[in-house]
Amino acid sequence: MLNKLESLLATTHIELSQEQKQLLVDYVDMLNKWNKAYNLTSVRDPEQMLVRHIMDSIVVNPFLQGTRFIDVGTGPGLPGIPLAIVRPDSHFTLLDSLGKRVRFLRQVQHELGLVNIEPVQSRVEEFIPQPPFDGVISRAFASLQDMLSWCNHLPKPNEGRFYALKGVLPEDELAQLPTGIVLDKAVPLQVAELGEQRHLVILKSN
């Protein structure tokens, strides 16, 4: 698995320490093990998890601004846990409403010794951030409109960003952004061995 991860990383500009690589592999091992009982992801093959979950998450790292982030609807910790591993000086709140997922996240936090994550069980609209976040991240979440509606209380006023990890660029959603929100940038992402489109949509207040 470590060799597979290193071959995937070799196709990118991402440079990680051996410790970071090992943590990513250990996380996939835990995800694979818990998945059999908890059904945390539809991806069953650990090597595919490296492509579809690890690489798919960490490619957005260069585009994040700030040090305090919230991953809304994190599920089994995606993209929050891979990003926390590659970005040790940032802090990630991992928010999910389902208890079994949050139990898994707490076990990952404990076993991998990740001090820069905080798993929280809550519905996003009921979660009160103290203080607000530099960035609100979502992957495989709802439409941009729903994300903005449910999460508008989470970022720092006028400074915070919304980061939506998308497949095909959602042109129709971008054409209907609410008043006060503008597109900062839309970045096409290259994920090794993933034959599908990926985009990072970054939104901000205007």
Q: Output the known binding site for S-adenosyl-L-methionine.
A: 73, 78, 124-125, 139
> Going by C-beta distance under 8 Å and a sequence separation of 6 or more, which residues neighbour residue 156?
131, 132, 133, 134
Question: Which residues are annotated binding-site positions?
Answer: 73, 78, 124-125, 139
DSSP letters, 128-162, are --SS-BSEEEEES-S-HHHHHHHHTTSBPTTT-EE
3-state SS class at 154: coil
Cα–Cα distances (Å) from 98 to 7, 117, 170, in that order, read: 34, 17, 27
